[in-house]
Amino acid sequence: MARKAVDAAGDKQAGDIVLLDTRKVCSFADYFVICTSETERQIRAIYEEVAHILKKEGVLPIHHEGTADSGWLLIDYGDVIVHIFATDEREFYQLEKLWSRANLVLRIQ
């Protein structure tokens, strides 16, 4: 499921896509997908594509937070959490640094 989210984000030209294995350092999710978008419109497109692809697989989100105009959208699938950031917000929140003890599975720049 995490890999499908990565592929869906990539299909919508998300930047700096990171897949972290958080199983050993996080009790609420197994994987984080983190990516960057250049515009609000692209944030929405990435969000919609991830949701569409996973829905085709029978996977629906448990919860979502944020808005495209805030520069951050989160889609919670339980075991997988997808973070879509605008550049400034990603730099501000620095999730990779916060979760630096997680295993880096994949990075697509």
Summarize pLDDT for 20-61 with one digit per residue, the tens.
999 999 999 999 999 999 999 999 999 999 999 999 999 999
Any bridge partners for residue 64, and if so which?
75
Give CA 36 to chain center in angstroms: 9
For residue 75, what pLDDT band results from cuts at 50, 70 and 90?
very high
pTM of the model as a whole: 0.94
The per-residue pLDDT for 33 is 98
Give the pLDDT score at 50. 98
| CA distance linking residue 9 with residue 23, whole number of Å | 22
Nearest-angstrom CA–CA distance, 100 and 94: 10
pLDDT (tens digit per residue) in 81-100: 999 999 999 999 999 999 99
Please tell me the predicted confidence (pLDDT) of residue 66. 95
Residue 91: which domain range? 2-108
Q: Vertex 45, ends 5 and 92: CA angle to 5°?
A: 75
Q: What is the C-alpha separation between 7 and 24, in angstroms, rounded?
A: 24
> Who contacts 100 (Cβ-Cβ below 8 Å, separation ≥6)?
none
Q: What is the CATH number of the domain that holds 33?
A: 3.30.460.10
Cβ-contact 15, 104 below 8 angstroms = no
Domain count, the chain: 1
